[in-house]
Amino acid sequence: MVCIDIVPVPQDHHGEGPVWLEDEQSLAWVDVYEEPSIQRFFPTSGRYESLAMPAVTSCLAPTRSGSLLAGMMGGFHLVDSNGRTTLVADPSLPSGQELLCDGKCDPAGRFWCASLSRDLRTPVGRLWRLAPDGACAEMDSGYLTGNGVAFSPDSPRLYVADSRAETVCVYDFDVEMGRSTTSACSFLPTTCSGAQMGRPSTKTATIGARWSKVGP
C-alpha cells in the first residue's frame, strides 16, 4: 500500500499550482486569494518559507535566473528570493472581470497561461502566451475558468480545461513556432454527491495519456 504523507506546513486558504524547483530541490506553490503568497517546502531539510505577495497570485514557473515567474492580478511578474516583484508584461485584462489562473511552460520556454472570468458566468477568459523576451499575445478566448494547462510529452498537443464549462480543449501545437490551433473540445459530464458540478483540471503522463482530475 502506498503511504501518502501530509506535508507539515500551515494550511492554505486556496493553495494552487505546485511546481517542483529542481535546482533548489524544493516544492513551490501559491496561496491565491485571501493572503496571497508564494510557499516553498524543502523535503530534505523540512524547511518551509512563505513570501507575501502584493496582489492575488495564481500560478508559477521557474526561470533560468533563479527568479519565479508569477501570474498575478496586474499581469506577469518576476519574483526574487526576497519577494520583490518586477512587472514583465501586463496583458489587456478588463478591470475586475478577468484574472490569470493557471499556466505552464512549453519546451521552448514560453509561458502559456489561461485566465478566468471573475463572475464565473461571463466567458471572458483567454489563453495567453508569454515569450522569453516578454512579448505577450492572446492565443484563444471564450473561457469561463481557464485551468489545467498541460503539454503532451513530445509537445504536439496543448491541453486547457475549462472548469466551469466542464470541458477540456485540445490544441494542435507547433513548439518551434509557438502556435496552437484548436483540435477538439471534450465535454466531461460528472456529478459530485449527485448534485455539485465537477471541476476538471489536467495533467499529462510520460506515456502521453491525459489525466483529468474531476471534483468539487
Report the DSSP beta bridge partners of residue 19: 28
Q: Are residues 74 and 109 in the same domain?
A: no
pLDDT band at 212; cut points 50, 70, 90: very low
Task: Evaluate whether residue 215 is within a structural domain.
Answer: no
Mean pLDDT of 39-68: 96
Domain final position from 66, 90, 114: 90
Which pLDDT value is given to residue 186?
62
Structural domain count of the chain: 2
Domain final position from 90, 108, 127: 90
Q: Are residues 18 and 117 in the same domain?
A: no
Find the Cα–Cα–Cα–Cα dihedral 164, 168, 169, 174, rounded to 10°. Answer: 130
Q: Are residues 79 and 162 in the same domain?
A: no
Rounded distance, CA 188 to CA 202, Å?
Answer: 12
Higher pLDDT, 167 or 180: 167
Task: Evaluate whether residue 195 is within a structural domain.
Answer: yes
CATH number at residue 108: 2.120.10.30
pLDDT band at 196; cut points 50, 70, 90: very low
Q: Are residues 63 and 166 in the same domain?
A: no
Which candidate, 98, 100, 53, 96, places its Cα nearest to that of 76? 100
Structural domain span for residue 85 = 12-90
Which pLDDT value is given to residue 191?
40
Amino acid at 168: V
Q: Are residues 73 and 112 in the same domain?
A: no
Task: Evaluate whether residue 6 is within a structural domain.
Answer: no
Share of the chain above pLDDT 90, in %: 60
Which pLDDT value is given to residue 153?
83
Q: Is the pLDDT of residue 206 over 50?
A: no
Which pLDDT value is given to residue 87?
96
Q: Is the pLDDT of residue 31 over 80?
A: yes
Q: Are residues 26 and 65 in the same domain?
A: yes
Highest mean pLDDT among 169-173, 199-203, 204-208: 169-173
Domain final position from 55, 90, 125: 90
Task: Evaluate whether residue 7 is within a structural domain.
Answer: no
Task: Evaluate whether residue 216 is within a structural domain.
Answer: no
Q: Are residues 107 and 149 in the same domain?
A: yes
Task: Evaluate whether residue 202 is within a structural domain.
Answer: yes
Q: Is the pLDDT of residue 202 over 80?
A: no
Task: Evaluate whether residue 2 is within a structural domain.
Answer: no
Share of the chain above pLDDT 70, in %: 81
Task: Evaluate whether residue 5 is within a structural domain.
Answer: no
Q: Are residues 107 and 85 in the same domain?
A: no
Does pTM surpass 0.75? yes
Rounded distance, CA 163 to CA 151, Å?
Answer: 17
Between 80-84, 114-118, 187-191, the lowest mean confidence (pLDDT) is in 187-191
Q: Are residues 202 and 104 in the same domain?
A: yes
**E strand or H helix at 57:** strand 57-62
